[in-house]
Structure 1
Amino acid sequence: MRKARLLTTAALAVASAGLLAPPAAAAGGLEIHPATVTPGTTVTVHTTACGSGGSASGDASAVGAGAFTLTGTQEEDHEEDAVGRFEVPPSAQPGTYEIVAKCSGSGASGKQVTGDLVVTITSTAAAPEQQPVAPKGHVKTGVGGALGPDPVQTAAGVAALAVAAAGGTWLLHRRARGDRI
């Protein structure tokens, strides 16, 4: 009985490891650089799905850019890449758009690959001089605090309040005694 449990446990462990393992990355997917853009940005798209020297026809009409062509590159490190470019139109709205490329030519003809392009209104990589700056110093709103920037004015205000409080107390005391003013 114990042997049966060990075998069952081992079988479940192997099966669950296979189920829980992340799926292998799809070979030759559509890579988009940069993946997050603002309207008016030029985007570079490349894939290895079309094979060495392959080409593809791209479709960026989802974002409003229309068709573009991916052609084989002559770079030594990227001999199997098909590369293309398109510009995101200035009228593009924020959102995630699917960009599609369909291989043409030799062995991979008709193979379709996709990738996601995210369009935002603001740039994610703002230059240091464009970073927001925190305010410093006092804000002149017309409403003072107990410890304002000028100690003379603060002392004068405290003295005026003390005189008013003393005078009000003296008047209430006289009224309570029945004295007339």
Structure 2
Amino acid sequence: MRRTARLLSGTAFAGAVAVAGLGTAPAYGDGSGSGGGLEIFPSSVVPGGQVTVNTAECGDGSTAAGDAGAVGAGPFTLAPSTHELDAIGRFRVPPSAQPGTYEIVATCAEGGRRVTGDLVVTLTSAREHVSPRGSVKTGVGGALGPDPVQTAAGVAALAVAAAGGTWLLHRRARGDGI
């Protein structure tokens, strides 16, 4: 019975994961509904950052006209690359860009196919690491806390309380009363 329950719960879990996976979007946009699209690196950038855009949708050795006007960067060109026959282009996000999600568009020179991708503009970079500064104000203190005198007083108070509690429990056990 236990084995059957494990088998059924494992199957239900795998089914739930598969159903949940159907609702997720790819990491790049695609204006046509078929595989591929406009890949944007990095997908999240701070104002003033440089963005690289590539697509394999335009075909071998083809170029494309890019448009980053939604974010305020204007037009850019995607040129053929030796990397997996992609067309690659770059643009810089203006320092005045506001946080949000922007659609970047490329139109293939041959055939006029339009591919899209999303660029997220944030105020902080995902690569930035901000370390906390200062001491934690918990009231407990610490060996390296801001005031060693207060720390020593706290330790002394705890020692007196522990000794007094032990003494009272010892008196009670002997029957002396409190």
Sort the TM-score into its range (normalised by shorter chain): 0.5 to 0.7
2:67 is aligned, of 59, 69, 85, to 59
Tell me which amino acid in the other structure corresponds to 2:49. Answer: T
| Distance in 2 of aligned mates of 1:112 and 1:132 | 46
Tell me which amino acid in the other structure corresponds to 1:131. Answer: S
RMSD: 2.8
> Does structure 1 retain, via aligned residues, the 8 Å contact 2:100–2:120?
yes
| Deviation at residue 134 of structure 1 after TM alignment | 6.0
What is the SS of the residue equivalent to 2:96? coil
Deviations 1:121-161 (A, max 9, x none): 0111115xx43346264457xxxxxx92354xx99xxxxxx
Instruction: Give unmatched runs, 5+ long, in structure 1.
Output: 1-19, 141-146, 156-181
Identity rate of aligned residues, in percent?
52
Larger Rg, first or second structure (1 or 2): 1
| Distance in 2 of aligned mates of 1:103 and 1:86 | 17
Count of residue pairs the alignment pairs up: 120
Q: Tell which deviates more after alignment, 130-139 or 66-75.
A: 130-139
Deviations 1:8-32 (A, max 9, x none): xxxxxxxxxxxx6949973230000
Match in the other structure for 1:42: 50
What is the SS of the residue equivalent to 2:150? coil
| Distance in 1 of aligned mates of 2:150 and 2:22 | 62
| Distance in 1 of aligned mates of 2:63 and 2:100 | 28
| Distance in 2 of aligned mates of 1:126 and 1:27 | 33
Deviations 1:54-112 (A, max 9, x none): 1100000000000000011124xx22x0100000000000000000000003xxx2100
| Distance in 2 of aligned mates of 1:103 and 1:22 | 29
Instruction: Give unmatched runs, 5+ long, in structure 2.
Output: 1-18, 27-33, 137-143, 158-178
TM-score (norm 1): 0.58
Q: Tell which deviates more after alignment, 89-98 or 26-35.
A: 26-35
Match in the other structure for 2:112: 110
Alignment of 1:162-177 (within 5 A): none
